[in-house]
Amino acid sequence: MKATLSEGRGQVRESINLVVRYLKQETLTPLKSILKYVGFGLAGATLVGVGSVLLLLGILRLLQTETGSSFTGDLSWLPYLITLVVGGVIVVVSLILGRKRKTSKL
């Protein structure tokens, strides 16, 4: 009787271990791979954002220093407007491309 009782307990432990391994395999492994892609996406978005800010800052600096006396006096605000328009164009193009990619995958 003791042999069958210990065999039964062993089978229960084995079943529990099997279920735990199965759950880890079917939930944790895919979750880890998804989190890896999300991390790469966040890193890429951060780098694109920083790059865009630096690009706009460079455009502003270029317009302020390399245009001579074109944007002086009453027109000193014009480089800021041009930079704002370029930034707006970048945002609009990014949104359009993002929406095209989402609809093409469906």
Question: Any idea of the CA torsion for 51, 39, 89, 96, to the nearest 10 degrees?
Answer: 150
Segment 39-53, tens digit of pLDDT = 999 999 999 999 999
pTM (predicted TM-score): 0.67
pLDDT above 90 covers a percentage of the chain that reads 54
- Which residue has better confidence, 53 or 5? 53
CA distance 90 to 97: 11
